[in-house]
Amino acid sequence: MNGRTAVITGGGRGFGKAFGHALAAAGYHAVLIDIDGTEAEAAAAEIRALGHSATGFAGDVTDEAAMAQAMAQAAAINGGIDVLVNNAGLHSDEYGQPILKMGLAKVRRLFDVNVLGVVCCTLAAHPWMKGRHGASVVNISSSAGHMGGSAYGDSKLAVAGLTITFARELAPDNIRVNAISPGLILTETIRNELPEATKARVKAMQMLGTDGEEKHIVDALVFLVSEKAAFITGETLRVTGGMAAGV
């Protein structure tokens, strides 16, 4: 994948940082965009220290002008963008509350980032992805989107819907669009912050008794952007241990 560029939003930490490491190891130049530019550059420096290629800089996925500039800068590295991972999103306890408690302002902010951020970044990257062999967009949804009952889940359900819409609209430009819906993934943050009772309750809903790990989501991403997935578009891959299984 030398000479190819992957852009990852929310790339300074968590899944985004892990995606950057995996794609850089596969030969992409990883461009990590995060609202915290210091974290983005620190993550990119980690990748470079391993002998791979990466750049990190600040960017708000809801800022149309900033994302247009960011995608142009990313495209300048290798003449275009080959992979876009729309990973940035709000998912803290603050945004997991009932709508009646959050109020309109927080719900609007949630949808601005989680939903319109996907639209903003995809539109900004599109001109630089057109006609690139194997070009691929991967959106990060959530198992919460398949289960209902929260504004956060509703925002991620919208991401699954946008995945189908963009898959249809971008197919003539040879761009595939898919999504990943993670279930309970025991990242360091989740292990430290999620109450044990909550982890046990969610795990009991899985078909598989094993723990979900960050590598399971990374492996799904690497598959979806690869030639092995060349005939897959418009799909949302549920990586949930069977928790969110459905037809």
Q: Give the CATH number of the domain where residue 72 resides.
A: 3.40.50.720
Give the separation between CA 34 and CA 185, rounded to whole angstroms: 21
- Domain span at residue 181 reads 5-185+214-235
Asked whether residue 195 is assigned to any structural domain, the reply reads no
Using an 8 Å Cβ cutoff, are 145 and 202 in contact?
Answer: no
Asked whether residue 198 is assigned to any structural domain, the reply reads no
Asked whether residue 78 is assigned to any structural domain, the reply reads yes
Tell me the two tokens of residue 170. 């971008």
Asked whether residue 108 is assigned to any structural domain, the reply reads yes
Number of domains into which the chain is organized: 1
pLDDT of 245 reads 86
Cα of first residue to Cα of last residue in the chain, in angstroms, is: 35
Asked whether residue 200 is assigned to any structural domain, the reply reads no
In the residue annotation, 28 being an active-site residue is answered as: no
Q: What is the DSSP string of 46-109?
A: HHHHTT--EEEEE--TT-HHHHHHHHHHHHHHHTS--EEEE-----SGGGSS-HHHHHHHHHHH
Per-residue pLDDT of the chain (247 residues; tens, 9 = 90+): 679 999 999 999 999 999 999 999 999 999 999 999 999 999 999 999 999 999 999 999 999 999 999 999 999 999 999 999 999 999 878 898 999 999 999 999 999 999 999 999 999 999 999 999 999 999 999 999 998 899 999 999 999 999 999 999 999 999 999 999 999 999 887 888 788 888 899 899 999 999 999 999 999 999 999 999 999 999 999 999 999 887 7
Asked whether residue 199 is assigned to any structural domain, the reply reads no
Select from 227, 247, 67 the least CA-distant residue to 236: 247
Asked whether residue 158 is assigned to any structural domain, the reply reads yes
pLDDT of 1 reads 64
Catalytic option among 15, 128, 152, 166: 152
Asked whether residue 197 is assigned to any structural domain, the reply reads no
Select from 241, 238, 187, 243 the least CA-distant residue to 210: 241
Q: What is the SS3 assignment for 135?
A: coil
